[in-house]
Structures are given as C-alpha cells and as structure tokens.
Structure 1
Amino acid sequence: MTTFDDRERSYETKFALDAELRFKAEARRNRLLGEWAAGLLGKEGDAVRAYAMTVVTSDFEEPGDDDVYRKLAGDLEGRADEKTIRTKMVELMIEAKKQVIDEAR
C-alpha cells in the first residue's frame, strides 16, 4: 500500500466521522430547540419530550434548516419572532456541537 492510499483512506475516514458528528449535532440541536420551544408553549413533563421529537423529525423534510425553522415559526407564532428563533438555532447549534464532541471523547 502506498502513502497516497493511506492518505486517501485517512481522508475518507475523517469525512465519514465529520458527517456523523454533524448529523448528531444537528439532531441534538433540534432536540434542544424543541425543549426550548416546548417551554414557550407551556408544555411540561412527557409533553416536552414528545414535542422535541416532532422538531427533530421535522428536519427530515428537506435539506437545511428551513424545515425546522418553519415548524418552530408556525408553532411559536405570537410567542417568538424570526430573529429570536434563528438566534436560538445558532446558539443551540454551538451548544449541541460542544455536547457531541465532549461525548465522543
């Protein structure tokens, strides 16, 4: 095996790991968003977990974050504006990435 083959395999492995971590971080962010939104909606207990899962599954509708935003914007109408929701999405993505990386260590 050549050094080139080793390097290629290494890049492929890193790409796969990065994709897996990105997927986990996005799912975690969406769960955290669901928990945040559930609080704004006055949900408690098991209803928080159930609502958070609807936010997580809303991300499977199309690539990108717009499907999650639309879900939250529709559910939080009158409780949170676009800027608030999008800011929270960014904040919780940072938090989700930290959590996923810490768990991977």
Structure 2
Amino acid sequence: MKVYNKLVRDKIPEIIKADGRECDIDVATKEEKYELLEAKLKEEVNEFLEDKNLEELADVMEVLFGLADSLGFSEEELIKARDKKREERGGFKEGIVLKSTK
C-alpha cells in the first residue's frame, strides 16, 4: 500500500478504480482544503521548475483557480484581476529588469 495524504484532482479516485485498484479518500474541510492547496501550489511549482513543460504549468494554473475558489473568487474574477493589473502595470513579456531607482 502506498500512502499519499495529499490533495489530488477530483477524478483521480475514478481513474484509480477504473484501473482495477482501490483507494481510500477523505474530503477536506474548507480550512484543510486551503492549506492543502497551498502545499499543492508549492509541489506543482517545483514540478514545473524541474520539467518546464506546458502540462506542469497547467497544473499550477489549476491550483491557482482552486485557491481563488477557496477565497470566494471565480476563475473569471481571477482572470479579470490579472487582466486589470496587466493593463495598469504591464505583463512580463518584455523581460524588463529594474536595476535601480533614484
């Protein structure tokens, strides 16, 4: 038996059962879910930093959507907030490095 004790995507138990295996799950409380999402964000960011691929980047985004939901915001609200900030302050496409100010 392998022990995980970590937050997984909603369909993982179905996928495990479809593979002919069994799994033991629990549903986190609201407070537990938020803490688990923060831990999951660290895990997914580290996986992205190791592999640097689109799949891992998508995992980071999914966790961000989960965190937004836990804070009472929709995916659309998160994207709108990002768009507003990008409109006001720009994005990171140009690679500008601030060296100093006077």
Same fold (TM over 0.5): no
**More contact order relative to length (CA 8 Å, sep ≥ 6):** 1
TM-score, normalising length: structure 2: 0.31
Q: TM-score, normalised by structure 1?
A: 0.31
Instruction: Point out the structure with the larger helix share.
Output: 1
